[in-house]
Structure 1
């Protein structure tokens, strides 16, 4: 397969099809890119955009976030889910201030050393914030590579060494071209070569696709989605909603019993809605207790003499 043809076609396609995302604009900052990469983990762009915008207005630099309580990071994380990402991002901001003078480091190794930053995020920030040649492999890129080059409907359930080698082999030698390739393949996977309903007729490399040439064979496995309804994750999310919308500690008994009147301070409507949602789940007492204790153990909440609150 002629990689140069793939590079050229996808680059031209990206010129016309790319979404206008603030963390891609010339005005982007390395900090803005880092924040976006944390938020985009397992979360669609449509949900990230408003939260990212608010965060960047509130905390335009790592020092701004590091100076705020970690509970504020959780409060303004909103409904993005997986709130431990907010704590890790706060810890990363603190490390940038303490270890790098408030400037997001540009090298892969320095980025990888930040709290909460894994191999993908380190490569993505080095590439998209600093223009470095790095092998970026996210879910969308893996899927495009699997179909375009490997002839498979889906990549392996977990990232393999062979996939990483293939991604590295496809990467252009030039720094700028490599960044362009990474982001264009990622965009193709997000907009065209999607997991469930790929729009092959819109694909700029349709005639080069090994999967299409093979007759679009079915996946060798069925991806398992994460359950939500009735899970501890759902209950934890409902409790976090309450804590984000109150300024004072919430007595533990209110988690178990629907309050008649709220005197918790803060945006009372949000807290009231949170209690309604929590108790509408009809979670058994042992699940409520398990979910609450899990939040405390994970550092997403803390217990005081007056009740449960976000960490300060």
Structure 2
């Protein structure tokens, strides 16, 4: 049987202490955790890290912070520059949300990222997780931070299940609030350490239970490692509309001028001087050999999402 998820049944101070010690000696030296981190740098990292691994985020985050060290620096540029600099991180609407948040921070908060949860949550594109994470990690506030890694650790350590439910539940949030240390600084360390444990040790597919600092308290191990009650659905890529959208976005990021819509469907051999500078991404798009209706859906979707704009000369990144 799965273990109890009642926080009252746990020696919480022991769990807090064990994970804090492990984190102090094991945590990755990520720049958004450094002593000289800025609230803006933390906000950018949290948005970039959504559904994207650290190894891909690091170089893009560093480039962003060098180019736009504060929200006002980004807000002065067109939204399309944020999309261009987003590169291949995926889900480029996140770049638009960051730009919109930067504008709001400049206009409504004097260019300084607000420090409390409610003000962060009011920023464009900032949800409950991001608001809690920035308040905790950038400002040292006591907030209940619950991401995918934390949910998985809580499921195994406290509830005895292999994986959390497919969607975040109110019960999970209550449990996360119950196990959060009362001390403010300890709560920040707990959020960071549980998240790191899920990223490095208590992973989804191959947990390294022998390296876990709280394995003796793990309800899932005590229950005999019961298998998941469902099979997580992986996200397909090849041949999907998402892949075509990504290829079209690569063309727009490489273009200095609007791109004529008909160019997206033309074979590389047909391209002339007008494709200078975008020939490589256009060739990559053509190699997908997508159906005309799929390309049309991709173009329409990008226009609808605000990731592209139609001008007399063709499509371009948003202004």
TM bucket normalised to smaller: over 0.9
RMSD: 0.8
Distance 2:89 2:182 in 1: 36
How far is 1:272 from its partner? 2.2
Counterpart-to-counterpart distance in 1, 2:267 and 2:47: 34
Matched, 1:309 2:316: yes
Alpha-carbon distance between aligned partners in 1 of 2:48 and 2:41, rounded to the nearest angstrom:
11
Distance 1:298 1:79 in 2: 17
Q: 1:256 aligns with which of 253, 265, 277?
A: 265
Q: How far off is 1:294 after superposition?
A: 0.6
- Cα 1:78/1:213, change in 2 over 3 Å: same
Whole-Å Cα distance in 2 between the matches of residues 62 and 177 of structure 1?
29
Q: Is the 8 A contact 1:135 1:171 kept in 2?
A: yes
Alignment partner of 1:293 is 2:300: yes
Q: Does 1:203 align with 2:212?
A: yes
The residue aligned with 1:147 is: 156
Q: Which runs of 5+ in 2 are unaligned?
A: 1-9
The TM-score with structure 1 as length reference comes to: 0.97
| Structure 1 unmatched ranges of 5 or more | none
Secondary structure at 1:23's aligned position in 2? helix
1:281 lines up with 2:285 in the alignment: no
How far 1:277 moved relative to its partner? 1.2
Distance 1:262 1:186 in 2: 50
Once the two structures are TM-superposed, the CA of residue 264 in structure 1 deviates from its matched residue by 4.9
Counterparts of 2:310 and 2:251 in 1: how far apart (Å)?
A: 14
2:119 is aligned with 1:72: no
- After TM superposition, give the deviation of residue 263 of structure 1 in Å: 3.2
- Look up the SS of the partner of 1:223 in the other structure: coil
- For residue 16 of structure 1, report the CA deviation from its aligned partner: 1.3
Q: CA offsets per residue over residues 113-160 of structure 1, 9 Å max, x none?
A: 000000000000000000000000000000000000000000000000
Task: Report the equivalent of 2:4.
Answer: none
Is 1:184 the equivalent of 2:188?
Answer: no
Among candidates 196, 212, 217, match of residue 226 of structure 2: 217
Q: What SS is found at the alignment partner of 1:165? A: helix
User: Matched residues in 1 for 2:16 and 2:172: separation?
Assistant: 18
- Give the conservation status (yes or no) of the 8 Å contact 1:249–1:264: no
Q: How many residues align?
A: 308
**Distance 1:309-1:215 versus aligned 2 partners, 3 A rule:** same
CA offset at residue 227 of structure 1?
1.2
Q: How many angstroms apart in 2 are the aligned matches of 1:290 and 1:147?
A: 41
Cα displacement (A) at 1:63:
0.2
Shift of 1:25: 0.4
Q: Is the 8 A contact 1:247 1:264 kept in 2?
A: no
Give SS of 2:243's match: helix
Q: Normalization by structure 2: what TM-score?
A: 0.95
Does 1:47 find its partner at 2:78? no
Which residue does the alignment assign to 1:231? Answer: 240
After TM superposition, the structure 1 = structure 2 runs for residues 21-32 of structure 1, keeping only pairs within 5 Å, are 21-32=30-41
Q: What is the deviation of 1:262? A: 4.1
Greater RCO, 1 or 2 (C-alpha within 8 Å, sep 6+) = 2
Q: Could you tell me whether the CA contact under 8 Å between 1:299 and 1:311 is conserved in 2?
A: yes
